[in-house]
Amino acid sequence: MLFTIITINYNNKKGLEKTLQSVRSQSFKDFEFVVIDGGSNDGSRGVIERSRVVDEYISEPDSGIANAFNKGLALSSGDYVCFLNSGDIFSSSSVLEDVAEKLGAGRSVWAYGYRQRADAQGNILPPRKSEMENYGRERYITGRLCISHQASFFCGSIARDIKFNEEYQWLCMDVDFMFAFAAIDDPLMVGKVLVTYDETGISSNNVLSSLLVKWRIARRRARLLGISHVSIHVSYIKLFVRTFCVLSLKKLMGYLGMIRIYKLMASIR
């Protein structure tokens, strides 16, 4: 069984070095490593060229994340592919070995595990409750179960055929891609943390926008997935309202905290 690991990068030299080291440390060596760099000017290309673990790379401007992923797929030949973004790392040196053992004869179309998160301060946060739910197609499509593309492995031949929809260049291109796989078959659950995810990425900083795009994708794929539009709308309305309230509360708490600090400083003066 051959894995293809695809990493995309743009001006994230430090994060890229972490990812390269993580891939290099894998005990399972039947993999090819493809890096797609968007024409970085921070020295990333030099890091790639000096690395002995990278098999194929491109360093040139692209039109977005989906376009970069598709460039990686075009260079891939693995039985299964995974997408480990620059700054993300495997949770241990045995991840590929564990996944290969779980996939066995390779009859599964796709498989997934869990991700833990690294925040801007470097703190490691455990998987969210919504990422630990048992798989159910309706639960997944309606947003009650979250599956990370970084902790997922996809049949290479199908991935190269489906590709990423470049209509979604910057947000939720992975959601559309994974919903396409969900329409083919249910995934194999690996049942363990596979990846430490860099939480400072684009989607993480555009939570409400991402949720709206995911809602639109779910509506578009509802019939193919056998999920009712009513179920999708009800679930995503609840998700959007809850997320909006949580984000608003965080902003309010931050604002009140600033007021307290200002009053404290005024009293010291």
User: pLDDT (tens digit, 9 = 90+) per residue, 157-170?
Assistant: 999 999 999 988 77
DSSP string, 81-149: EEE--TT-EESSTTHHHHHHHHHTTT--SEEEEEEEEE-TT--EEPPPGGGSSPP-HHHHHTTSS---G
The larger pLDDT score, comparing residue 217 to residue 260, is at 217
Average pLDDT (7-14) is 95
**Among 94, 70, 92, which Cα is nearest to 83's?**
70
> How many whole angstroms separate alpha carbon 180 and alpha carbon 218?
10
Domain assignments of the chain as residue spans, ordered by start = 3-205
User: pLDDT (tens digit, 9 = 90+) per residue, 34-62?
Assistant: 999 999 999 999 999 999 999 999 999 99
Average pLDDT (147-164) is 95
User: pLDDT (tens digit, 9 = 90+) per residue, 117-135?
Assistant: 887 777 888 888 888 888 8
> How many whole angstroms separate alpha carbon 35 and alpha carbon 50?
13
User: pLDDT (tens digit, 9 = 90+) per residue, 60-88?
Assistant: 999 899 999 999 999 999 999 999 999 99
Architecture of domain 3-205 in this structure = Alpha-Beta Complex (3.90)
